[in-house]
Structure 1
Amino acid sequence: MIIKAEEKDISIIQDLAEKSWNFAYADILKPEQIDYMLDLIYSSDALKIHLENPNFHYYLIKGNDEFLGFIGFEFHQELGTTKLHRIYFLKEAQGKGLGKKALNFIKEEVKKIGDKRIILAVNKNNQAKSFYESQGFKVYDEGVFDIGNGYVMDDYLMEFIL
């Protein structure tokens, strides 16, 4: 089940982010960088700003009466383009088709709003790249982004054309 997140759900998003990030990035990023990024991206203030933006949407993914993951995307991040900022699942939820379901949900939402392209950034060492490719995303560029505190993200930039 995919449920629209609201301000009352911020603690759920934060909990899911912490658990999923510590699993997804354990072999990619140092624990200090994971902590820094979680504080930066998932602080209550940052999430409130996103939830107040009419183009930014968070959805919780629920199964068997528990929250298993979440997605966050922003319509019109560029002209005709939606950016998938976040798609994370707990370790135990992986491999059950939830990521594919979530991406199909996003694609349908993007069609409704009229954007023609979905973009995302994925760490060059993240095995999720092959998942995105299996769902029709293609690398269109690479980028190294300074995120502060001496940390950078070295990413593939991927797109899906609707």
Structure 2
Amino acid sequence: MKLIEATEKDIPLIQDLARRSWENAYADILSGEQMEYMLSEMYSAAEIGSHFQHMDYHYYLIQDENTGSYEGFIGYQHHYEEGTTKLHRIYLVPESKGKGFGKGALQFLNEKVSENDDRRIILNVNKYNAARNFYESQGYRVYDEGTFDVGRGFVMDDYLMEFLIHK
């Protein structure tokens, strides 16, 4: 596995990987209408492009070194809160799950967070998304929950999870 820092030229690839992942991960959780709305809002070229303008926001592409194929991506923001990095996005295409890419990406994130003097990683995960089990297997724990308005009458019902980095 190789993590490659993404640039604005990679926005179409990030959009494609997000769509492929979401169509699998959220098929039984979100309506097709909500999924299309959220993908169009959260993964528009303008939205992703704005992230690249923020010095603490980073995207990395997850590549299979054996095949050269892109298996997913990770997007995170250092100093989201004092001492805290927020994992905004980590998505893998369905055929790459169970191959260690997610675990490797989280280990990579832990290193990046440590290098930037944050001591905590937070993320939101939909209450009905099986990814919660994966995060818990990697040492994350639920510390709260929330319902978030994402527009057009749609909401996300999430667990808020954290991982504490011990230096």
| TM-score between both structures, scaled by the size of structure 2 | 0.96
Give the Å deviation of 1:3.
0.2
Where structure 1 has 5 or more consecutive residues not aligned to the other structure, the ranges are none
State the distance in 1 between where 2:36 and 2:77 align.
24
Q: Does 1:90 align with 2:93?
A: yes
What CA deviation, in whole Å up to 9, does each residue of 1:19-53 have, x standing for no partner? 10001100110111111000111000001100110
The aligned counterpart of 1:115 is: 118
Among residues 114, 125, 130, which one is paired with 2:133 in the alignment?
A: 130
Q: Which amino acid aligns with 1:33?
A: Q
Q: How many residues align?
A: 162
What CA deviation, in whole Å up to 9, does each residue of 1:98-151 have, x standing for no partner? 000000000000000000000000000000001000000000000000010000
Give the Å deviation of 1:80.
0.4
RMSD (Å) for aligned C-alpha atoms:
0.4
Give the Å deviation of 1:65.
1.0
State the distance in 2 between where 1:43 and 1:74 align.
18
The aligned counterpart of 2:72 is: 69
Give the Å deviation of 1:81.
0.3
| TM-score between both structures, scaled by the size of structure 1 | 0.99
Q: Which amino acid aligns with 2:108?
A: F
State the distance in 2 between where 1:80 and 1:102 align.
20
Give the Å deviation of 1:93.
0.3
State the distance in 2 between where 1:25 and 1:69 align.
16
What CA deviation, in whole Å up to 9, does each residue of 1:62-121 have, x standing for no partner? 111111100000000000000000000001000001000000000000000000000000
The 4+ residue runs of structure 1 with deviation greater than 4 A are none
Among residues 69, 81, 84, which one is paired with 2:84 in the alignment?
A: 81
The aligned counterpart of 1:41 is: 42
User: Which secondary structure state, in structure 1, belongs to the residue aligned with residue 28 of structure 2?
Assistant: coil
State the distance in 1 between where 2:15 and 2:140 align.
27
The aligned counterpart of 1:145 is: 148
Aligned identity (percent) is 57
State the distance in 2 between where 1:147 and 1:90 align.
24
User: Which secondary structure state, in structure 1, belongs to the residue aligned with residue 55 of structure 2?
Assistant: coil
The aligned counterpart of 1:30 is: 31
